[in-house]
């Protein structure tokens, strides 16, 4: 009996050593297998905006060093990103503005767009920034002046064209990179810069009153608010440019995470499904300190009317409806407080105390429970 036991142990050890040797040889022979395992490429806009930071946040939360990896790729404009998503080898996802999708569909730039483009989730809102010289006091002063709207085909160029048309404001559009345009603005060679980016946009964070620049308010007409979401730029967003008591009215447009039209059963498709599962499961971790504050605006259950959701994302939500829909009370409270502040400021009312906000929030919770009965 003892001899059999010892023989068995030796046999198992020998088998394990052979298996280990085989695995080591396999790993040595094809290290690219482990490096490429679970990789998805995410195309973003330029570093002047926030989508690069958003992609980095995703990579930091989702990468596990073994089965998942997010590889951010800086794109060359919204329409080019859409082209890349359809045709460029390796690009699995892209962050785009919702109005860019609508524009591409209206102009039929990508025939059959609705059939091959699907979204994983709506993301955050991106604000329209209009930075001008000090001698430009209002939007109307920009009539027939040079305004940089980013590179041709960029999301900003598309939004700016539509917005200025709604405002019935003729401008002379220029198409420089935003960093180049900022230098031209400082030198007085152009009147303003238009830029769509989630606040606070990195390109504007270091500016202050000494630069001789300021944000212009956007007139919120019925036509403008029907097309875009009204919002504000505040001193909390840009302490060097916006005075404490003078918020700047503007508008915002939604950003969305789009998926490439991948063939089911392929490795890339499986990698993308793996990404969706990890992203949706870990989305609460992106609300923790150290990640971009725009994550607090993301609701993975929100729908994008007129567009199809990536099927594995839809299936995940159906399986996990209660988890996905459960709100974080502290985040909900913060959003509620911000809403109250902006409404009070817009109506000219006095700011509410924390106690008054808490009382109102309590009433809101009671109302919400009544709605869910």
Mean pLDDT of the region 219-225? 92
Mean pLDDT of the region 330-342? 69
CB-based burial of residue 9 (10 Å sphere; 0-12 exposed, 13-18 middle, 19+ buried)? exposed
- pLDDT for 324 equals 59
Distance CA 29, CA 345 (A): 65
Which one is predicted more confidently, 365 or 293?
Answer: 293
| pLDDT tens digits for range 145-156 | 999 999 999 999
| pLDDT tens digits for range 34-79 | 677 889 999 998 888 899 999 999 999 999 878 899 999 999 889 9
Q: CA triplet 351, 290, 44: central angle to 5 degrees?
A: 100
157 falls in which pLDDT band (50, 70, 90)?
very high
**Range from 108-122, 175-189, 271-285, 310-324 carrying the lowest mean pLDDT:** 310-324
SS (H, E, C) 40-79: EEEEECCCCCCHHHHHHHHHHHHCCCCCCEEEEEECCCHH
- Is pLDDT of 203 > 80? yes
Mean pLDDT of the region 306-310? 95
- Is pLDDT of 303 > 70? yes
Q: CA triplet 291, 297, 298: central angle to 5 degrees?
A: 85
Which one is predicted more confidently, 368 or 152?
Answer: 152
Residue 42 in contact with residue 75, Cβ under 8 Å? no
9 falls in which pLDDT band (50, 70, 90)?
very low
Mean pLDDT of the region 18-23? 41
Distance CA 119, CA 99 (A): 14
Distance CA 373, CA 174 (A): 55
- pLDDT for 204 equals 93
Q: What percent of the chain has pLDDT over 90?
A: 69
- pLDDT for 351 equals 81
- pLDDT for 23 equals 39
Both tokens assigned to 154: 């960029």
Say if residue 200 is preceded by a cis peptide, omega within 30 of 0: yes
- pLDDT for 130 equals 98
- Is pLDDT of 287 > 50? yes
String of DSSP letters for 117-183: -EEEEEEEEEEEEEEEETT--SGGGGTTSEEE--STT-HHHHHHHHHHHHTT---EEE---HHHHHH
- Is pLDDT of 83 > 70? yes
- pLDDT for 16 equals 36
Determine phi and psi for 124, rounding to 5 degrees. -110, 175
- pLDDT for 182 equals 96
- Is pLDDT of 6 > 70? no
HSE on the CB side for 199, CA within 13 Å? 21
């Amino acid at each position: 009996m003892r001899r059999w036991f010892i023989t068995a142990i030796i046999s198992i050890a020998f088998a394990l050593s052979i298996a280990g040797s085989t695995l080591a040889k396999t790993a040595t022979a094809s290290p690219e297998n482990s490096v490429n395992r679970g990789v998805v490429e995410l195309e973003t806009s330029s570093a002047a905006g926030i989508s690069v930071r958003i992609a980095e946040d995703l990579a930091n939360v989702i990468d596990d060093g073994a089965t998942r990896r997010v590889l951010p790729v800086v794109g060359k404009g919204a329409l080019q990103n859409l082209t890349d998503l359809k045709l460029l080898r390796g690009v699995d996802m892209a962050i785009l503005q919702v109005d860019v999708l609508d524009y591409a569909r209206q102009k039929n730039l990508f025939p059959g767009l609705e059939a091959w483009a699907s979204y994983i989730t709506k993301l955050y809102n991106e604000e329209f920034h209009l930075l001008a010289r000090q001698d430009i006091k209002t939007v109307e002063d920009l009539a027939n002046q040079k305004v940089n709207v980013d590179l041709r085909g960029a999301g900003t160029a598309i939004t700016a064209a539509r917005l200025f048309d709604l405002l019935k404001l003729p401008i002379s559009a220029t198409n420089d990179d935003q960093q180049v345009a900022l230098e031209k603005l400082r030198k007085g060679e152009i009147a303003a810069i238009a830029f769509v980016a989630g606040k606070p946009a990195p390109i504007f964070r270091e500016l202050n009153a000494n630069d001789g620049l300021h944000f212009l308010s956007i007139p919120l007409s019925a036509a403008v608010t029907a097309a875009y979401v009204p919002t504000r730029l505040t001193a909390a967003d840009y302490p060097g440019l916006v005075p404490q008591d003078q918020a700047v009215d503007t508008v915002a447009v939604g950003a969305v995470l789009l998926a490439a039209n991948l063939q089911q059963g392929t490795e890339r498709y499986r990698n993308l499904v793996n990404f969706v599962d990890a992203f949706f499961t870990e989305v609460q971790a992106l609300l923790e300190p150290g990640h971009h504050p725009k994550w607090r605006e993301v609701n993975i259950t929100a729908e994008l009317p007129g567009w199809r959701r990536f099927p594995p994302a839809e299936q995940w939500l159906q399986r996990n409806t209660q988890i996905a829909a459960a709100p974080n009370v502290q985040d909900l409270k913060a959003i509620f407080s911000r809403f109250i502040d902006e409404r009070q400021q817009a109506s000219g009312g006095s700011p509410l105390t924390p106690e008054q906000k808490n009382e109102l929030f309590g009433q809101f919770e009671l109302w919400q429970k009544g709605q869910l009965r």
